Amino acid sequence: MGLTRKLLSTSTAGAVDFRSDKERTARKTAKGARAGKKGNKIAKADAKVSKKQLSAIEEQNRLLEEQNRLLAEQAVDDDGQER
């Protein structure tokens, strides 16, 4: 963490960089890794929601087909003639 560098930076009002190049690189790498993990979590959540939506649509289609079948049966009289 370079206590000397931090002290110099504060005492020289920023003339010396607060963080070394190595430290800056490490922070940016870690920040990128955290952002990647967050992006993965979001993608997984989106996929989960999409699966649920697809299941709901499939169930709705199944119910509509059943309803149409029942309506078609109802439209036919006991004589076998259509109304």
Angstrom distance (rounded) from CA 43 to CA 78? 55
Determine the average pLDDT of the residues in 5-9: 79
Give residue limits of the domains in the chain. Answer: 3-75
CB neighbour list of residue 1: distance below 8 Å, 6 or more residues apart: 23
pLDDT score of 68 more than 90? yes
- Calculate the average pLDDT of the chain: 85
Give the pLDDT confidence of 37-53 residue by residue, as tens digits. Answer: 999 999 999 999 999 99
Q: Is 41 helix (H, G, I), strand (E, B) or coil?
A: helix
Residue in the structure block whose two tokens are 């649920």: 52
User: Whole-structure pTM over 0.85, yes or no?
Assistant: no
Give the pLDDT confidence of 12-27 residue by residue, as tens digits. Answer: 887 878 888 888 899 8
Determine the average pLDDT of the residues in 50-58: 94
